[in-house]
Amino acid sequence: MMMLLFKPEGLRAAKYSLISRRIGLQGGLTRIPFKSSNVYSVDRNRYVSFEAGEHESGHIKSGPNDGILFFDNVFPLRIQRLLGVPFSSDEKIPKFLQYFVSPKITGTDPAQIIKGAGKAKLPIQIKRVLPRLKEGGAYVQFTYDGSVPTSELEKTLKKYLREEQVKPWWSPARRMHVNLVKGRPWVEDLFRLPTQRLKVEFIPPSPGAEAVELSQEQLYAFFRPYGKLTDIIPQPFDSKVLPRYAYLDFRNKPRAIMAKNCMHGYMVSQAEGGGKVGTVLRLTYEQKIKAHWIRDWLMNHPRIVIPALAAIVAGITVAVFDPIRTFFIKAHIMRTFHLENNRIYSWIKGYATDVFTWHKRRDDDAGMEAVWDDRKPNIEQIQTWLMETADTFIVVQGPRGSGKRELVLDQALKNKKNKLIIDCKPIQEARGDSATIDAAAAQVGYRPVFSWMNSISGMIDMAAQGATGVKTGFSETLDSQLAKILNNTATALRQIALDGRSRDDKDANLGDDEYLEAHPECRPVVVIDNFLHKSQESTIVYDKIAEWAARLTTANMAHVIFLTNDVSFSKSLSKALPDRVFRQISLSDCSPEVAKKFVITHLDSDTNEESNHQDESAKLTPSQRRQDLAELDSCIAYLGGRLTDLEFLARRIKTGETPIKAVHEIIDQSASEILKMYIFGSDGTDGSKRRWTPEQAWLLIKQLAKKGTLKYNEILLSDTYKTNGESVLRALEQAELITIVSGPNGRPSSIKPGKPVFHPAFKRLTDDRVLRSKLDLQILTDLIKIETGNIEKYENELLLISQLGKQPKEIAPRVFWLLEKLRGSQGKVERYERESGELKRVLGEEF
């Protein structure tokens, strides 16, 4: 027989030669006493020539009485990884490799094993030991005298290894095995690593001959002795690939190595099923998993890969960015980076204020003391509620300009350090999902925020869905983005509430939830301003905020205060907390006494007015020096107690106008705003739509100017409000033209102007004959159209009845009813026509 030695090239060959020299495989022909035979090593020159077989042919010559044994587990199976370690020198192998893997040290030297088994008087003589480093084994070529069959020699060695349990240190659970090489081994030095799968090719013994494809049963009989087979896969019957082949899958890699080295080149005779001339088995290692299988699998399964990739990206984002965002939210709530809270800045500011006396009080704060004195019970009530443990909402409701924000932030929460103000107005008015996300993030200090990624991920998601047919999950909806922002904010609020805990507290033994419930004073306060602002457009923002606020209150993480102008806030908040009664404070307009005091205090706050200190009048306040403040009582009766209108009045008076003139200017300005916003506003051509018609708004203006207060159902019975009357009234209330007052049992009972100043503004508009005639003419035109439609409907029904052959007497009442309705509608049309003629005459005569 002939055999090959593994011969790495270049640096690996040098390393291999050094290893072989260290483990005793090189040197001259040395006699080892063993029975009457000798165990030989190969001399150095011949070993080099045999690294790839005789003359590097891949085979080795063998005599008629030569045999080959293959031992496995002689070297670590992954020794080639150790050979890849950078050595300090090309001439010397590191000592650790010599001491750890040398067969003489580890007890896996095949020559020593054969010597140990020689006690059974084995008639063999070792010619050479040929290591196979990449396969972890070694060939042993020997000669024998033929007195004992080679199969007996194999059984003796197997029994010895089984009894002695020879196990190297790197494989304590698997002992060494030995088998007789039956084929013609191919000792190649190619970089082909062992695998669990073998490819068996059926080769003819000579060119031109015909090989026979062995069956699965035959292959099992040949290869099962070398180890457990998991599968035998024959070549598909319709395959045209030659030579024919089959795959053998072994349970583990060492079994496949043993089978390959023992059976490669085996000649299957005719008696064994190899055909007339026999069949040669050619074995090679086959990769069970194809190269680039990971890349190919990823490319071929986008429906699985893309959602999984999205989940991984989301997980990384949460793990990396969420702690950063929570930190910035906490800093925003606790005002960590605000200069006003810095001690050095506060000291410099106080020192500069003492030196430079030019600092003056803001006009916006002037006169508010009178209002706060009047609303002191409301302030104390809010502060009391914040000290209680009840998990419910605090709602401060009032018309716009009633001072809700100032009452809560500047008075009730003046000494509260940790408070978060969320203004719903910029969030609701943002256009587009990205702008809405940016606005929501800015309110709570959520950063970094990548709102622009939402558009890009949306396009990626759309493209992937078109290719795969399923949603990938890259893009996130506005709902999910808002939920993410609010969830991070809730986490920051909980951490702030628990920051004050210490081990020395008397409640240190309580859990976090019990501590928060027992200490309401530790919870931060969340103020949600402008809640339900423009709620008729979209409610997604308000629904998410209400649900989030309910979670904060029920988990005792924070107190929540809603500031709203909408009187129907309970419908929205009840969805979030259906089993709670809200704590509500309703702010109305100031009383005439408080309103007058507010204006006077606002006037007296002006310290910039030049005065002559030598004059006795300089000791008087600005309000005492004014001679026209006697008109203030009648002016306040027009304006009412709305703080924004009172402040506007005070500013105009400070500029030198008399109270009467200032009030008339305010009324004129309000009348112009009413015309622009409710009568001559958008007609829908610019994309904005109103939910009422100018005729409906004018009818309310005209009747409120006459009566001041209207019955709710009285308006609904008018012909102008027959279609969607209640929704129109709610829309006008949201637009603040009117205020709907609830009566008994919470039902709508009456309608009033949206602001007190609107009542004189309504009168001012109705006093304009041209404007009144134009708008009344539009109402009459609309009514004529309605009655004309009714007449046409009655006539059609009468025509249908007249076409009946014989009219029964039971149909007569219906005919009389239709005729009566027809006469009534005709009378209305005639009356409307006469009134329209008079209005047209006014429009034609006056400018």
pLDDT tens digits, 531-577: 988 777 778 889 999 999 999 999 999 999 999 988 778 888 888 88
Q: Is the dihedral of CA 10, 16, 22, 25 positive or negative?
A: negative
In a domain, 650, yes or no: no
Does residue 527 share a domain with residue 428? yes
- The strand ranges marked E within 265-375 are 266-268, 279-286
pLDDT digits (tens, 9 = 90+) for 574-629: 888 888 888 889 888 888 888 888 888 877 775 444 444 444 455 666 666 777 77
In a domain, 753, yes or no: yes
Secondary element (H or E) of residue 323: helix 302-334
pLDDT at residue 219, as a whole number: 96
**pLDDT exceeding 70 applies to what percent of the chain?**
80
pLDDT at residue 88, as a whole number: 35
CATH number for the domain harbouring residue 737: 1.10.10.580
pLDDT at residue 666, as a whole number: 92
Q: Which residue has the higher pLDDT, 40 or 707?
A: 707
Does residue 252 share a domain with residue 137? no
Does residue 251 share a domain with residue 162? no
Does residue 819 share a domain with residue 733? no
Does residue 463 share a domain with residue 339? yes
Picking from 221, 250, 248, the residue whose alpha carbon sits closest to that of residue 235 is: 248
pLDDT at residue 16, as a whole number: 36
Return the exposure string of 473-487: e unless at least 16 CB atoms fall within 10 Å of the residue's CB, then b: bbbbebeebbebbbe
In a domain, 304, yes or no: no
In a domain, 303, yes or no: no
In a domain, 381, yes or no: no
What average pLDDT does range 332-339 have in this prediction? 80
Q: Which one-letter amino acid corresponds to residue 374? A: D
CATH number for the domain harbouring residue 255: 3.30.70.330
What average pLDDT does range 177-203 have in this prediction? 90
In a domain, 738, yes or no: yes
Domain end call among 117, 146, 180: 180
Does residue 522 share a domain with residue 402? yes
Q: How far apart are CA 579 and CA 301, in angstroms?
A: 49
Domain end call among 155, 180, 205: 180
DSSP category for residue 451: T
- The chain-wide mean pLDDT, for the chain, equals 80
pLDDT at residue 90, as a whole number: 35
pLDDT digits (tens, 9 = 90+) for 253-288: 999 999 999 999 999 999 999 999 999 999 999 987
Does residue 579 share a domain with residue 447? yes
In a domain, 606, yes or no: no
What would the 3-class secondary structure string for 216-248 be? HHHHHHHHHHHCCEEEEEECCCCCCCCCCEEEE
pLDDT digits (tens, 9 = 90+) for 377-402: 899 999 999 988 778 889 998 888 88
**pLDDT exceeding 90 applies to what percent of the chain?**
34
Does residue 260 share a domain with residue 140? no
Query: 3-class SS at 395?
Result: strand
Planar angle of CA 91, 95, 98, nearest 5 degrees: 95
Q: Which of 48-57, 90-99, 465-474, 728-737 has the highest mean pLDDT?
A: 728-737
Does residue 582 share a domain with residue 696? no
pLDDT digits (tens, 9 = 90+) for 360-369: 444 445 567 7
pLDDT at residue 253, as a whole number: 92
In a domain, 263, yes or no: yes
Does residue 246 share a domain with residue 334? no
pLDDT at residue 228, as a whole number: 94
CATH number for the domain harbouring residue 482: 3.40.50
Does residue 236 share a domain with residue 149? no
- Which conformational region is residue 684 in: left (phi greater than 0), alpha (psi within -120 to 50 degrees), or beta? left
| Res. 23: pLDDT tops 70 | no
pLDDT digits (tens, 9 = 90+) for 645-657: 888 888 888 888 8
Q: How far apart are CA 461 and CA 467, in angstroms?
A: 10
Secondary element (H or E) of residue 531: strand 525-531
| Res. 334: pLDDT tops 50 | yes
Domain end call among 288, 308, 336: 288
Give residue 201's domain range.
197-288
Q: Which residue has the higher pLDDT, 392 or 465?
A: 392
Structure tokens at 460: 């990626």
Does residue 449 share a domain with residue 474? yes
Tally the domains of the chain: 5
